[in-house]
Structure formats: structure tokens, C-alpha cells
Structure 1
């Protein structure tokens, strides 16, 4: 795992969406690259709808194992808006947030899977397409 860089913010030099639109690879200015699954990005969306306004208000997003990224839109010079094929399009993924999601992927993904298990929720959609 890359060492946490707390001294300066990281900036992306490339965002690359896989052909199936289920993986976003972000390469940063320190040559570190993270391959972030669409499902992971969706369930950790920085939107108020998902994050809530307090830690206790965070929503558990489930049933997104098949979600893909429809498109990306740059927001100024500080973030990217990710539009998902399930219609979710709120929340701006600031560069440092993307870096932190990549850097802490293993822990955050395990915590998400534990949360699903505790709440008896599934990654798979209730009604597959």
C-alpha cells in the first residue's frame, strides 16, 4: 500500500475508464495509480444522499455489484463528477478523496462488506437486469 502523503495534496495526471465502464484507474502526480471499481466508488459516493450530514446519517448503499460508470465530468480543477448508470450523479469526487479511497481500499472495502453482512444486505441487485 502506498505510504500516506499528508504533506501535500495529490493531483491526478490521468483518469482512465475501462471498456466495460466498471473500473476507473486514476494515476496521480506521485506515479501512484489506483484501479477503483465502479461499485466501490458508488457505495462511497461523497454525495449528501450517501454520506448524510453526520457520520450517523450515512446510508448503506447495497445492490450495486453490476453498476457501471456512464460518464465523467471534470468539476473545475478540484474534482470529478461520476455519473453512474443507476442514475446516481450527485457528489463531487475531489482529487484527495479519490486518492484516499485508493490508498485505503482494502480496509474500506472490508468494512463495507462487514456492514452489509451485519445488516443482512447484498451486493447483488434485488432485480437483476
Structure 2
């Protein structure tokens, strides 16, 4: 997977902008990153255990902490700070953002949940 050459937090718009060495660039909303956190709290501990996270429309990223040369830890305004976003995860989330977001919205609707708490 490509490596990011620039990671920029746009606090006012609640967006993490990630530019990769292959020329791809993604604008990833904090809410999208939060509800797709790679943490066990969200993903579970095995296949089919992903938790549907709702009420995060207003979440923001408070801090970006580098993790070696392969990832960042995102600290969110709701206190969540256990997901380590590897370059592969960020690239996958960016590449599949439209389908991931549509699936998330459909899952919220099916569960009777909302983006805002």
C-alpha cells in the first residue's frame, strides 16, 4: 500500500485530508473515521462482531499521534482513542468511502438509529 506524504487535520470542517505517494488524496470526515475505527471496541474481536456506532455526526479529531512509520492514532472529541489507523486502513477507507458510507447509513436506518444523538 502507498504511504501518506501529507496528513492534514481541517478542524473547522471536521475532516482529515490524506495525500498518498501514488497521487491519491482523500478527505475523510471525522465522523466517518470514528464509526469505522479499527479498534476492537468498534470492530469486535472476530468476524461479524462490528458494532454499529451512532450519534457521532458532531465528533471531531482532537489529536493525531504518529505510531512508528506505519500508522496514526486518532484521538476523538468523544474520548475514543484506541484505534490505530495504519496506512493500509486509511487508504482502504478512502478508496471505499462512498460504498462504506452508504452501507453505514443503511445500517443506521435499519437499526432505527441516527447520526445525531
Calculate the TM-score normalised by the size of structure 2.
Answer: 0.97
The 3-state SS of whatever aligns with 1:108 is helix
Which residue number corresponds to residue 47 of structure 1?
Answer: 39
Q: Deviations over 1:67-102 (max 9, x none)?
A: 000010000001000000000000100001100100
Distance 2:114 2:14 in 1: 18
Aligned match for 1:82, one of 56, 74, 81: 74
Work out which of the two has the higher radius of gyration on C-alpha atoms and give 1 or 2.
Answer: 1
The 3-state SS of whatever aligns with 2:56 is coil
Report the number of matched residues: 117
Which residue number corresponds to residue 23 of structure 1?
Answer: 15
- Where structure 1 has 5 or more consecutive residues not aligned to the other structure, the ranges are 1-8
Aligned match for 2:27, one of 35, 38, 45: 35
- Where structure 2 has 5 or more consecutive residues not aligned to the other structure, the ranges are none
Aligned match for 1:14, one of 1, 6, 24: 6
Once the two structures are overlaid, the 10-residue window that deviates more, 19-28 or 82-91, is 19-28
User: Following TM superposition, where does structure 1 have runs of at least 4 consecutive aligned residues deviating by more than 4 angstroms?
Assistant: none
